[in-house]
């Protein structure tokens, strides 16, 4: 059985977290990660262009970087550093193109091996102790519209799931008919693994405002206090997701083939959970931070020849499949930031 640190490093987001933490602790490591990541980036010289050089010493080697990481004193880690590294790992997730250069760097065997040292330090820190825990009953739903345009929580999850299931099957049928089977062909379509339009909640505010995949430049958000109970499945490991997919498989090969090949390098059959059917067993599904870091963004084997990807789902986010979540008494909180990447500040 894998140790928690080994499981964390199975996932590209977990590896990136550890690489970001190492860079947080040492400016020389940050510089080496920057230059080596650029060299490995699939967009080097085209979508990503640098002017200048790595300095008088030239380009650092992966072995040099590995030695620096291995020498780090992880006792210096604090909660702000861990949260910042987690946010940057989430920001770097992309499922419609190849992983960026720093993700590729973290996956090199020589770097991945020494990141085990960082993973153990991170998992042992007090700031990470909640990463595998169930979310509390009292949570927050986030409305990304301005406070002047308030809205109630979405209703009718059953209707939303029915429409989602119809749309996914329709897109799959059209993609099977119209798109090439070559996964390298330049096609793109739906790449996320979960339905849109359902209530999604987070347990931590303001942390949940920053842990958002494919985030936009929105500068204001409303955090709505909610409470939810019922049959909640917690995704803490790849096995939890794979079991859900085996129990309720929904074919998405034709519609996800090209995007997921680019992000994982795998060609083959793909499935996601049939969330409409899963709602018959579960009221909600919670993706823990540990589950996200170990599972999101890479091909997870479901059956022989079949795999799945967790994509477009934020860490510590609970997806409500039934109407067992309600807005509760308490003030809605308005949060703002000056621009994308800045800290969120509570206004009211």
Query: Which tens digits make up the pLDDT trace of 109-150?
Result: 999 999 999 999 999 999 999 999 988 889 999 998 877 877
Which alpha helices (DSSP H) does 202-266 contain, by range?
207-210, 238-247, 253-264
Give yes or no: residues 111 and 205 share one domain: no
pLDDT at 150: 73
Give yes or no: residues 224 and 106 share one domain: no
Give yes or no: residues 143 and 119 share one domain: no
Give yes or no: residues 240 and 286 share one domain: yes
Q: What is d(CA 26, CA 232) in angstroms, rounded to the nearest whole number?
A: 40
pLDDT class for 36, splitting at 50, 70, 90? very high
Whether the predicted pLDDT of 48 surpasses 80? no
Expressed in percent and rounded to 5, the helix, strand and coil fractions of the chain are 40, 15, 40
Q: What is d(CA 156, CA 141) in angstroms, rounded to the nearest whole number?
A: 16
Per the DSSP assignment, residues forming a β-bridge with 138 are: 227
133 in any annotated domain: no
Give yes or no: residues 234 and 321 share one domain: yes
Q: What is d(CA 19, CA 25) in angstroms, rounded to the nearest whole number?
A: 10
316 in any annotated domain: yes
Phi, psi (deg, nearest 5) at residue 198: -85, 165
Which alpha helices (DSSP H) does the chain contain, by range?
4-10, 12-25, 27-40, 62-70, 79-91, 101-107, 109-124, 157-178, 207-210, 238-247, 253-264, 275-278, 289-295
Give yes or no: residues 330 and 282 share one domain: yes
Whether the predicted pLDDT of 151 surpasses 80? no
Give yes or no: residues 113 and 187 share one domain: no
Give yes or no: residues 163 and 310 share one domain: yes
Whether the predicted pLDDT of 319 surpasses 80? yes
292 in any annotated domain: yes
Whether the predicted pLDDT of 329 surpasses 70? yes
pLDDT at 53: 57
Q: What is the mean pLDDT of residues 310-330?
A: 96
Q: What is the mean pLDDT of residues 174-198?
A: 95
Of 98, 128, 158, which residue is a domain's last? 128
Give yes or no: residues 169 and 293 share one domain: yes
Of 69, 96, 128, which residue is a domain's last? 128
User: Cα 313–317–319 angle (5° rounding)?
Assistant: 80
Q: What is d(CA 21, CA 74) in angstroms, rounded to the nearest whole number?
A: 9
Domain that holds residue 69: 4-128
Whether the predicted pLDDT of 156 surpasses 70? yes
Whether the predicted pLDDT of 46 surpasses 90? no
User: Cα 79–292–270 angle (5° rounding)?
Assistant: 165
Q: What is the pTM of this model?
A: 0.95
Taking residue 280's Cβ as centre, other Cβ atoms within 10 Å add up to 9
pLDDT at 32: 97
150 in any annotated domain: yes
24 in any annotated domain: yes
pLDDT at 339: 86
pLDDT at 182: 97
312 in any annotated domain: yes
205-251: per-residue pLDDT in tens? 999 999 999 888 889 999 999 999 999 999 999 999 999 999 999 99
21 in any annotated domain: yes
Give yes or no: residues 293 and 168 share one domain: yes
254-312: per-residue pLDDT in tens? 999 999 999 999 999 999 999 999 999 999 999 999 999 999 999 999 999 999 999 99
**In b/e form, how buried is each residue of 182-197, taking b as 16+ CB within 10 angstroms?**
ebeeebebbbbbbbee
332 in any annotated domain: yes
pLDDT at 113: 98
Give yes or no: residues 239 and 307 share one domain: yes
Of 128, 157, 192, which residue is a domain's last? 128
Q: What is the mean pLDDT of residues 17-45?
A: 95
State the average pLDDT for the chain: 94
The tally of domains found in the chain comes to 2
pLDDT at 203: 94
pLDDT class for 196, splitting at 50, 70, 90? very high
Greater confidence (167 vs 147) lies with: 167
pLDDT at 37: 97
Give yes or no: residues 212 and 65 share one domain: no
């Amino acid at each position: 059985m894998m140790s928690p640190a080994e499981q964390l490093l199975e996932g590209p987001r977990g590896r990136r977290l550890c690489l970001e933490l190492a860079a947080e602790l040492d400016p020389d490591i940050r510089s080496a990660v920057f230059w080596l990541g650029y060299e490995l980036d699939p967009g080097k010289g085209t979508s990503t262009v640098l002017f200048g050089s790595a300095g008088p010493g030239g380009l650092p080697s992966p072995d040099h970087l590995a030695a620096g990481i291995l020498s780090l004193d992880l006792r210096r880690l604090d909660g702000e550093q861990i949260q910042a590294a987690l946010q940057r790992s989430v920001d770097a997730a992309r499922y419609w193109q190849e992983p960026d250069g720093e993700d590729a760097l973290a996956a090199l065997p020589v770097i991945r091996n020494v990141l085990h040292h960082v993973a153990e330090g991170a998992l042992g820190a007090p700031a990470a102790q909640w990463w595998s825990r169930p979310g509390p009953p009292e949570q927050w739903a986030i409305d990304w519209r301005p406070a002047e345009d308030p809205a109630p929580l979405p209703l009718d999850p059953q209707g939303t799931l029915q429409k989602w299931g119809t749309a996914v099957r329709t897109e799959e049928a059209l993609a099977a008919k119209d798109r090439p089977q070559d996964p390298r062909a330049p096609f793109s379509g739906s790449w996320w693994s979960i339905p849109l339009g359902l209530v999604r909640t987070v347990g931590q505010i303001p942390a949940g405002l920053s842990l958002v995949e494919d985030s936009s430049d929105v500068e204001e958000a409303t955090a709505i206090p909610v409470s939810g109970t019922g049959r909640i499945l917690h995704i803490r490991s790849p096995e939890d997701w794979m079991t859900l997919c085996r129990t309720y498989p929904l074919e998405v090969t034709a519609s996800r083939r090209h995007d997921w090949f680019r992000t994982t390098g795998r060609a083959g059959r793909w499935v996601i959970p049939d969330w409409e059917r899963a709602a018959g067993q579960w009221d909600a599904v919670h993706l823990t931070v540990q589950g996200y870091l170990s599972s999101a963004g890479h091909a997870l084997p479901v059956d022989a020849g079949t795999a799945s990807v967790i994509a477009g789902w934020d860490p510590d986010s609970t997806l409500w499949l039934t109407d067992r979540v309600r807005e509760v008494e308490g003030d809605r909180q308005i949060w703002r930031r000056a621009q994308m990447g800045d800290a969120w500040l509570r206004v009211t």
